[in-house]
Structure 1
Amino acid sequence: MKTTLDELLAFVSVVDCGSISAAAEQLTQTASGVSRALSRLEEKLDVTLLRRTTRRLELTEEGQAFLAEARKILDAVENAEEQMKVRRQKPAGRLRVNAAAPFMLHAVVPLVAGFRAQYPEIQLELHSSDQIIDLLEQRTDVAIRIGPLRDSTLHARPLGSNSLRVLASPAYLKAHGTPKSVTVLSDHSLLGFTQPDSLNQWPLRHALGETFGINPSLSASSGETLRQLALAGVGIVCLADFMTAADRASGELVQVLPRDTIEVRQPIHAVYYRNTALASRITCFLDYLSCHLGDAG
């Protein structure tokens, strides 16, 4: 499109105001600037829109026809801007959120009712994946990631952090005994992750260092699966606080080796692509999460 909105606005303003000087005053521009905009517009269109006399301006037939279309364009732009203003004041639209299944279940889902009550025009779409996804490929607006970030092409916003604890059910400890030191863990049923191996490095201080690498007796790809196994008394597990806060509060899981546990806080980030100003529906969702999550668990 060769014609600019400034040129259209100058043309319509001159017609409505009846003169270039009056239009310039309304637009807070110089008369020469408005006149040049009109000349550029006529040159681009290769027509005469206004006949200029010493006393008045008169629309040509082409000018009359173009005026109607120019008004439609300016009205459409004004309407679009107003829609964006309304969205900023009252965020709306579809919001696709991705998170690992345990975080979605234990941290995000409990906040959904309150968020929807505050922002009823936002249509949430919640997706769970225990693998790191491509946001563009999966058409995801925001992904929640726990732990160090690796993808430098994404923008990230910290939402909080959470600790790791070694836990077991009272039933398991009654049946197999409570470990008194890190070294005796190898005599127990240890529940670990299939991948990555870093999740099988437990934050336990011992003679050889401050992390204890386990050889799982039973492995699973999902933290939620491991949580359920621990609750069922199958073994000892190391999980994030956001998953187990309710279990610990109820006594269904209890911490093992608390004196040997190193405080390790995993960062929680929201990641997203940001080519332009962040959509208000994304901003308000991140604000809400940040306010209500804090230090998860």
Structure 2
Amino acid sequence: MLSVDALVGFIAVIETGSFTAAAERIGQTPSGVSRTISRLEKQLGTALITRTTRRLDLTEEGKWLLLRAREILTELQRTEEQLRTRLAQPTGLVRVNAATPVLDYLVAPLMTEFLDRYPLVRLELISGETVIDLIEERADIAIRIGPLADSTLNARRLGTSRLSLLASPTYLKRHGIPREVADLREHRLLGFTAPTSLNTWPLAQNDIDGLPVEPVIGTSSGGTLLHLAVAGAGVVCLADFMTRSEIAAGRLLPILETVTLPWSQPVWAVFYKQGALAPRVSALVEFLVERLTGKLLDD
């Protein structure tokens, strides 16, 4: 395969008219330039330059190669310029993976503003209720809630969101309002199928922080739990970021507030970083940090 350095040396010799002048242009010795041209001719199996004591002339093959070499170097220069422009302005596709409520309540409401700021970026927002392998799923960023177990990931903390116990007015009217932790034994509790740690609620029991509950209805989706609670199916424990609007509208009411422990879940943007982070990915991570930290979430 022809090397770029050989083509640069070849063009320099022809344009300057001598090996000495070509060497000065490209920062080599005249003998080094001569060896480069000789190796190039040997590699191609043909003479490119006819050398005399007074001048250098191109053979027909040399004339053809000169045209192609200039085209190749021009294209390489154009490619480099385009890449520098691309790196200077975030461009391309960013794939984001998160649980459906995170996409619905945290990410999606901000994406119009993000695309207005970075119009050359495209987004794929992919919902998933379980922890994924970013490489296998071809995700650039994942938004995760809770402690991070994977030490191979890089992460930026976006903030925290407090957990609250909630039920709908309809449910509480039918089943009564629990006044103390023990009253929950008489209520329908809604929770997650996995991980089971999500079914430890922020309540103290026998001087131990955290009350494990056994859900009457279990689901993998926090969004489904929210809909079940609003529909009056039972008592739920969810993060404030996804329940604020329902509480404000009166569709859900906080319960056991005086005995609820002040537990908050950290929210992270996680990603693999090998070398410099791609500008399109870095732009979204920094945007989420800017817009979510201390604003949409409870720090």
Q: TM-score scaled to structure 1, two decimals? A: 0.86
Partner of 2:260: 261
Partner of 2:109: 110
Per-residue CA deviation, residues 247-279 of structure 1 (Å, 9 max, x unaligned), is 233343333223333333323233334445332
Judged with a 3 Å threshold, the aligned counterparts in structure 2 of structure 1 residues 9 and 259 are, in CA distance, closer, same or farther, namely: farther
Judged with a 3 Å threshold, the aligned counterparts in structure 2 of structure 1 residues 249 and 21 are, in CA distance, closer, same or farther, namely: farther
| 2:62 matches 1:63 | yes
Name the amino acid aligned to 1:130: E
| 2:134 matches 1:135 | yes
Name the amino acid aligned to 2:78: N
3-state secondary structure, aligned to 1:226: helix
Partner of 1:252: 251
Partner of 1:293: 292
Name the amino acid aligned to 1:233: G
Aligned residues of 1:168 and 1:254 also touching (Cα < 8 A): yes
3-state secondary structure, aligned to 2:136: coil
In the TM superposition, what is the alpha-carbon distance from 1:101 to its structure 2 partner? 0.8
3-state secondary structure, aligned to 1:163: strand
Aligned residues of 1:206 and 1:260 also touching (Cα < 8 A): no
Judged with a 3 Å threshold, the aligned counterparts in structure 2 of structure 1 residues 85 and 211 are, in CA distance, closer, same or farther, namely: same
Aligned residues of 2:7 and 2:69 also touching (Cα < 8 A): yes
In the TM superposition, what is the alpha-carbon distance from 1:31 to its structure 2 partner? 5.1
Partner of 1:10: 9
Judged with a 3 Å threshold, the aligned counterparts in structure 2 of structure 1 residues 154 and 19 are, in CA distance, closer, same or farther, namely: farther
When structure 1 is superposed on structure 2, of 20-29 and 237-246 the one drifting more is 20-29
Partner of 1:172: 171
Per-residue CA deviation, residues 205-230 of structure 1 (Å, 9 max, x unaligned), is 23241111011122222100111111
Say what the alpha-carbon RMSD is for the aligned residues.
2.6
When structure 1 is superposed on structure 2, of 189-198 and 199-208 the one drifting more is 199-208
List aligned pairs for 1:143-162, cutoff 5 A. Answer: 143-162=142-161
In 2, Cα distance between the equivalents of 1:20 and 1:139? 51
When structure 1 is superposed on structure 2, of 199-208 and 17-26 the one drifting more is 17-26
Aligned residues of 2:190 and 2:215 also touching (Cα < 8 A): yes
In 2, Cα distance between the equivalents of 1:54 and 1:261? 95
Name the amino acid aligned to 1:70: A
In the TM superposition, what is the alpha-carbon distance from 1:87 to its structure 2 partner? 1.5
List aligned pairs for 1:98-247, cutoff 5 A. Answer: 98-247=97-246
In 2, Cα distance between the equivalents of 1:84 and 1:141? 20
Aligned residues of 1:97 and 1:142 also touching (Cα < 8 A): yes
When structure 1 is superposed on structure 2, of 121-130 and 40-49 the one drifting more is 40-49
In 2, Cα distance between the equivalents of 1:37 and 1:152? 49
In 2, Cα distance between the equivalents of 1:133 and 1:166? 28
Name the amino acid aligned to 2:145: I
Judged with a 3 Å threshold, the aligned counterparts in structure 2 of structure 1 residues 246 and 61 are, in CA distance, closer, same or farther, namely: same
In the TM superposition, what is the alpha-carbon distance from 1:23 to its structure 2 partner? 3.9
3-state secondary structure, aligned to 1:110: helix
Per-residue CA deviation, residues 181-215 of structure 1 (Å, 9 max, x unaligned), is 22222222211111111110112223241111011
Per-residue CA deviation, residues 89-137 of structure 1 (Å, 9 max, x unaligned), is 3322222222111111111110111112122222212211112233343
Judged with a 3 Å threshold, the aligned counterparts in structure 2 of structure 1 residues 8 and 220 are, in CA distance, closer, same or farther, namely: same
In 1, Cα distance between the equivalents of 2:59 and 2:19? 16
Aligned residues of 1:191 and 1:218 also touching (Cα < 8 A): yes
Name the amino acid aligned to 1:210: D
3-state secondary structure, aligned to 2:267: strand
Aligned residues of 2:156 and 2:289 also touching (Cα < 8 A): no
Judged with a 3 Å threshold, the aligned counterparts in structure 2 of structure 1 residues 22 and 252 are, in CA distance, closer, same or farther, namely: farther
In 2, Cα distance between the equivalents of 1:161 and 1:49? 69
In 1, Cα distance between the equivalents of 2:265 and 2:254? 18
In 2, Cα distance between the equivalents of 1:125 and 1:40? 50
Name the amino acid aligned to 1:162: S
Judged with a 3 Å threshold, the aligned counterparts in structure 2 of structure 1 residues 150 and 68 are, in CA distance, closer, same or farther, namely: farther
Name the amino acid aligned to 1:111: L
In 1, Cα distance between the equivalents of 2:62 and 2:77? 22
Q: Give percent identity, aligned residues only.
A: 49
Name the amino acid aligned to 1:224: G
Aligned residues of 2:188 and 2:235 also touching (Cα < 8 A): yes
Aligned residues of 1:144 and 1:271 also touching (Cα < 8 A): yes
Aligned residues of 1:158 and 1:269 also touching (Cα < 8 A): yes
Name the amino acid aligned to 2:265: Q
